[in-house]
Structure 1
Amino acid sequence: MYSQWRGQADLRHTVAKSRLWALGSAGALVTATLIAGTVSAPAAVAEARHGTGGAGHGVEIAAARAAKKGIDWQACPDDWGLAKPIQCGWVTVPVDYARPYGKQIRLAVDRAGSTGTPQERQGALVYNPGGPGGSGLSFPRRITGKSALWTKVAKAYDFVGFDPRGVGHSAPISCMDPQEFVKAPKADPVPDTGADKNAQRKLAREYAEGCGERSGAMLPYMTTPNTARDLDVIRAALGERRLNYLGVSYGTYLGAVYGTLFPGHLRRMIVDSVVDPARSNIWYQANLNQDIAFEGRWKDWEDWVASHDADFHLGTTRAAVQDKWLQLRATAKKHPLGGVVGPAELISYFQSAPYYDSSWVPVATTFSKYVAGDTKALVDAAAPDLADTAGNIRAENSNAVYTAVECADAHWPTSWHKWDRDNTRLNRDYPFMTWANAWMNLPCATWPARQHTPVEVRTHRGLPPVLIVQSTRDAATPYPGAVDLHRRFKGSRLITEEGAGSHGVTGLVNPCINDRVDAYLLKGTLDSADVTCAPHATPEP
Structure 2
Amino acid sequence: MRAAALYTAAGSLLLTTLAAAPAGSAPRSPAPPEASGTAVAVARAAVRGVEFGPCDGAGQDLPGRMECGTVRVPLDYARPGGRQIELAVSRVRATQRDPGNSKHKVPRQGALVFNPGGPGASGFHFPLVGRLPEWKRIAAAYDLVGYAPRGVGRSAPLSCRDPKDVFKGPTQAPTHPSESYKRERIAQAKAYARGCAERSGDALRHYHSLNNARDLDVLRAALGEERLTFLGSSYGTYFGALYATLFPSHVRRMVFDSAVNPDPAQIWYRNNLAQSAAFEERWTEVKEWIARHHGVYGLGETEQAVQRSYDRARARLAAEPAGGKAGPGQLQNLFLQAGYYDDYWPGRAHALSAYLKGDPQPLVDLAAPRREAAAEAENASAVYTAVECNDAPWPTQWEVWDRDNTRLARVAPFETWDNVWMNLPCAYWAAPRQQPLDVRTGPGELPPTLILAAERDAAAPYEGALELHRRLSGSVLVTERDAGTHGIVGGPNACVNGHVEAYLLEGRVPGRRAACAPHPEPEPRAAR
Instruction: Provide the C-alpha distance between the structure 2 equivalents of 1:43 and 1:241, rounded to a whole number of angstroms.
Output: 20
Aligned to 1:502: 485
Further displaced range: 329-338 or 155-164: 329-338
Q: For the structure 1 residues 266 and 192, does the alpha-carbon distance in structure 2 shift closer, same or farther, using more than 3 Å as the test?
A: closer
Q: CA deviation at 1:52?
A: 6.7
Q: What is the alpha-carbon distance in structure 2 between the residues aligned to residue 38 and residue 304 of structure 1?
A: 58
Residue 380 of structure 1, CA deviation = 2.4
Q: Is the 8 A contact 2:170 2:328 kept in 1?
A: no
State the alpha-carbon separation in 1 of the partners of residues 359 and 333 from structure 2.
20
* Rounded Cα–Cα distance in structure 1 between residues aligned with 2:458 and 2:490: 17
1:271-307 Cα distance to aligned partner (Å, 9 max, x none): 0101000001100001100111101011001111111
2:128 matched residue in structure 1: 141
Unaligned ranges ≥5, structure 2: 1-9, 22-26, 98-104
Q: Which residue of 2 aligns with 1:459?
A: 441
State the shift of 1:341 in Å: 2.0
Aligned partners of 2:445 and 2:225: how far apart in 1? 17
Shift of 1:44: 12
Q: CA deviation at 1:342?
A: 1.9
- 1:344-378 deviations in Å (ceiling 9; x for gaps): 12111111111111211111111111122111221
Q: 1:434 aligns with which of 410, 416, 421?
A: 416
Aligned partner of 1:529 in structure 2 is 512
> Does residue 160 of structure 1 match 2:175?
no
Q: Do 1:44 and 1:56's aligned partners in 2 also have CA atoms closer than 8 Å?
A: no
AA partner of residue 322 (structure 2): L
The alignment status of 1:63 with 2:42, answered yes or no, reads yes
Do the aligned residues in 2 keep the contact of 1:350 with 1:363 (CA within 8 Å)?
yes
CA 1:178 to 1:37, structure 2 compared with 1: closer, same or farther past 3 Å? farther
Contact 1:188/1:333, CA 8 A, preserved across alignment? no
Question: 1:49–1:374: structure 2 CA closer, same or farther, 3 Å change rule?
Answer: farther
Deviation at 1:207, TM superposition (A): 0.5
Within 2, Cα distance between the matches of 1:374 and 1:43? 71
Question: Which residue in 1 is equivalent to 2:178?
Answer: 193
Instruction: State the Cα distance separating 1:40 from its structure 2 match.
Output: 8.2
Looking at structure 1, the residues matched to 115 and 264 of structure 2 have their Cα atoms a distance apart, in angstroms, of 21
Amino acid at match of 2:205: P
Q: Using the alignment, how far apart are the partners of 2:223 and 2:19 within structure 1?
A: 18
Residue aligned with 1:233, SS: helix
Q: 2:85 aligned with 1:76, yes or no? A: no
The letter for the 1-side match of 2:433 is Q
Instruction: List per-residue Cα deviations over 1:194-240 (Å, max 9, x = no partner).
Output: 11110100001000000011112321111101010000000000011
Taking the aligned partners of 1:221 and 1:381, their CA distance within structure 2 comes to 36
Deviates more, 1:107-116 or 1:36-45: 36-45
Give the alignment of 1:480-491 within 5 angstroms. 480-491=463-474
> Deviation string for 1:324-348 (max 9, x for gaps)?
1111112222332222322212111
**Closer, same or farther: CA 186–43 of 1 in aligned 2, 3 Å:** farther
Q: TM-score, normalised by structure 1?
A: 0.89
2: CA distance, partners of 1:529 / 1:443: 40
Q: Which has the higher contact order (CA 8 A, sep 6+)?
A: 1
What is the TM-score of this pair, normalised by structure 2? 0.91
Residues 1:95 and 2:78 aligned together? no
| Aligned-partner Cα distance in 2 for 1:120–1:164 | 29
Structure 1, unaligned stretches of length 5 or more? 1-33
Matched to 1:254, the amino acid is F
Aligned residue-pair number = 501
Q: CA deviation at 1:92?
A: 0.3
The CA deviation at 1:189 is 4.0
Alignment match, 1:362: 347
Q: 1:197 to 1:161 in 2, by over 3 A?
A: same
Residues in 2 aligned to 1:507 and 1:131: alpha-carbon distance in whole angstroms = 19
Q: CA deviation at 1:379?
A: 1.9
Q: Give the counterpart letter for 2:332 in structure 1.
A: I
Partner SS, residue 69 of structure 2: strand
Would you say the 8 A contact 1:36–1:68 is kept in 2? no
Paired with 1:50 and 1:396, the residues of 2 have a C-alpha distance of 42
1:232 aligns to what?
Answer: 217
Name the residue aligned to 2:405. Answer: 423
- In the TM superposition, residue 507 of structure 1 has moved relative to its aligned partner by 2.4
Deviating runs (4+, > 4 A) in structure 1?
34-45, 48-52
Match for 2:234: what amino acid? S
